[in-house]
Chain A
Amino acid sequence: MTASEIRALFAVASRPEVVSLAGGMPHLAALPLESLSAEVADVVATEGLVALQYGSAHGVPELREQICDVMALEGIKAHPDDVVVTVGSQMGLDMVTRIFCDPGDVVLAEGPSYVGALGSFAAYQAQVVHVGMDADGLMPDALREAVASVERSGRRIKFLYTIPNFHNPAGVTLAVQRRAEVLEICRTHGILVVEDNPYGLLGFDGVTYPALRATDPDNVVYLGSFSKTFAAGLRVGWVLAPHAVREKLVLAAESATLCPPTLNQLIVSRYLTTHDWKGQIKTYREAYRERRDAAISALEQHMPLGSTWNKPNGGFYVWVTVPEGIDTKAMLPRAITQRVAYASGTGFYADGLGSRQLRISYCYPTPERIREGVRRLANVIKDEIELHETFGPTVGRAVSGPHSPSPDTA
């Protein structure tokens, strides 16, 4: 791991003077902390000897049953035995990569893709081949081409990693009519699908899309998470996998952590039993929709000509393309000087693309702050345009180390 000039700049994001549109921290202010603390106290009081003890690497059985109820909202019929509880879905992703990938194996992923996934793939020396997206998500034709191209090169594709709903960072959703086609392409070529779905229940129009896993239980490994629907700090996620894979996952999990934190699992389980968790998700959805609206209206009002963006129907992120010639990574110090932070696009690609893109996160700041942040960002871009008019077209400078903010960035 090398120290990163880019990442160091995010240190100011936590200061109140700075509007951070960089991080991905959920809006926890919406949680009912008082009733929650009473339940947590009761978990320790009544189940403490279990909660504070080792558990199985598979996860607490009752929670695994409840997880199946959560997934049922997306049309998934699953058996609790096929669920493995993990320390956030990030651990699930790490273990799936560890189990499937040898150095040099290919993982297909949308371009751009979730930076944490790219980090896991890099850690196991898997090669990422990006597949293009449009407003309807992953493009089936681009997927066919990518598969053919990798196969021609003689390399092995281990899986397609996809975030079908309210994509991070692109904000788009895989159109329902494309889902069967994507699954069919993968099945035909013997490519496993790893479906990462942390945002699926956070659709602003009340629409919950059917999970890929719902129609293809044998060829999809599903990653789920309570980080966005409940509490990220508890680090409780899960993997739903076909039986044979699940066995390997349990063993891998055992060797990695012995077991996921029992107390945290019991807290999630108790929360699901005693709280209106569906109502809570609705509250989150409404908070995020209001923030999305603030971001989009501010973008429409302030952004200079030549900038484009999508309007996400759920999730946390807007993916912005800035006027040609601007390198969003090189622009970041200017943004910090003007008290706004964003994540530059290159961190979301394994192949150096993304220099003209940036990700705006609207999940954490208030709508008012989001509007102010976008206004500042627009000014930063205008100043940068002026610089480019002076010096003409430039090529992005290579900067080592991670380009994306750490998970605790505001």
Chain B
Amino acid sequence: MSNRWVAVLSGGLSHEREVSLRSGRRLSAALRSVGLVVEEWDADGNLLTRLKEHRPDAVVVALHGGEGENGSVQTILELMNVPFVGTDSRACRRAWDKPTAKGELARAGLVTPDWAVLPHATFRELGAQPVLDAMVEKLGLPLMLKPDQGGSALGAQVVRDAADLPTAMVGCLAYGNTVLAERFVEGVEVAVAVVDGPNGPYALPPVEIVPENGVYDYTARYTAGLTDFHAPARLDEKAAQAVGELAVSAHRLLGLRDVSRTDAIVAPDGTVNFLEVNVSPGLTETSLLPMAVEAAGQSLGDIYADLIERAVTR
């Protein structure tokens, strides 16, 4: 039992505020259950004042999207010399931007579906249709469209018919100015959490995601019962090991710290494709990290209490 007192940051102003508030509440309850003193703080204009006045032993960032994952909040914590759980600001920036993370990992030899990144301005200046045509020709259909930054699958869509592309682009670009188009890979969708332990980062059991309607979108993520999860994933030993290794590699190569979650697809030929990585994994009732923790026979409170000790003593 630890008697540290920590501030859990959740909420914020991103599109994922709702999810973050739920993550924050659940994590706080888990930490209290293992004896920590916890305050839940919204990441608002009072953050600096609160940090100065209250000086928690550590901060846990349970913010999703925007400033909580792009390194901004982490930068503030670093400037204030406040220990915090999670990836440092510089690595956050790399991991948060999906194309940057894909590029770095591809260069290091990891497999990730072929992709193209374009801002709205390019479509506007060159004409949308020829650019979309070229995109389809290169990457094929179906195509995965996502905002280049952000999580919870907000704005993400699988496009199976080229005629649906303009609508999907409009939906995606409402979340940001740049779109990431990715070749769609069929296969077993898994999420693998990685936690830093005394002997380096290790993977928790992969969680397999089987959305009822085939697409793991926002509704499928946060509606109880709309997605079947298998923890551990129904993979053979070799594949299970491969996804774990991929997630640990991504964690190391991107310089992530404490905890991360890698989303991947295992193609029918066994190839493990890296999709994206999250520096602040969701911790809600239907989130993947808590399922992985449970599958590993561990408790969320214990894991985060350890990470808090690491943060305080590093």
Contact among B11, B128, B152, B170 for A330, CB-based, below 8 A: B170
B173 touching A5, Cβ below 8 Å = no
Q: How far is the CB of A115 from chain B (nearest CB, A)?
A: 18
A401 touching B219, Cβ below 8 Å = yes
Among B131-186, those with CB < 8 Å from A are 152, 154-155, 157, 166-171, 173-176
Q: How far is the CB of B64 from chain A (nearest CB, A)?
A: 11
A7 to B222, CA, bound (A): 12
Residues of A contacting B176 in the complex (Cβ-Cβ under 8 angstroms): 337
Residues of A contacting B45 in the complex (Cβ-Cβ under 8 angstroms): 17
A394 touching B170, Cβ below 8 Å = yes
Q: How large is the interface on A (under 10, 10 to 19, 20 to 34, 35 or more residues)?
A: 35 or more
Task: Report A1-33 CB contacts with B as 1/0, cut-off 8 Å.
Answer: 111110111011001011000000000000000
A5 to B223, CA, bound (A): 11
With A3-B222, A390-B123 as given contacts, are A11 and B21 in contact (CB-CB < 8 Å)? Answer: yes
Task: Report B291-306 CB contacts with A as 1/0, cut-off 8 Å.
Answer: 0000000000000000
Residues of B contacting A330 in the complex (Cβ-Cβ under 8 angstroms): 170-171, 174
Residues of B contacting A333 in the complex (Cβ-Cβ under 8 angstroms): 15, 154-155, 174-175
With A3-B221, A5-B219, A390-B124 as given contacts, are A397 and B174 in contact (CB-CB < 8 Å)? Answer: no
Q: How far is the CB of A16 from chain B (nearest CB, A)?
A: 8
A388 to B128, CA, bound (A): 10
Residues of A contacting B129 in the complex (Cβ-Cβ under 8 angstroms): 392
A391 touching B174, Cβ below 8 Å = no
A339 to B124, CA, bound (A): 25
B155 touching A3, Cβ below 8 Å = no
B174 touching A331, Cβ below 8 Å = yes
Residues of B contacting A57 in the complex (Cβ-Cβ under 8 angstroms): none
Among A367-410, those with CB < 8 Å from B are 384, 386-397, 399-401
Task: Report B1-34 CB contacts with A as 1/0, cut-off 8 Å.
Answer: 0000000000101111111010000000000000
A17 touching B13, Cβ below 8 Å = yes
Residues of B contacting A394 in the complex (Cβ-Cβ under 8 angstroms): 166-167, 170
Determine whether B226 belongs to the interface, using a CB cutoff of 8 Å to chain A. yes
Determine whether A196 belongs to the interface, using a CB cutoff of 8 Å to chain B. no
Contact among A334, A384, A392 for B128, CB-based, below 8 A: A392
A333 to B45, CA, bound (A): 22
A-B pairs, top 5 by smallest CB distance, nearest first, are A3-B222, A11-B18, A394-B167, A5-B218, A391-B166
Task: Give residues in A with beta carbon < 8 Å to B.
Answer: 1-5, 7-9, 11-12, 15, 17-18, 327, 330-334, 336-337, 339, 384, 386-397, 399-401
* Extra pairs beyond A17-B13, A327-B170, A397-B168 (12, CB < 8 Å): A2-B223, A3-B222, A4-B218, A4-B219, A5-B218, A15-B42, A17-B45, A387-B170, A389-B124, A391-B128, A391-B167, A397-B157
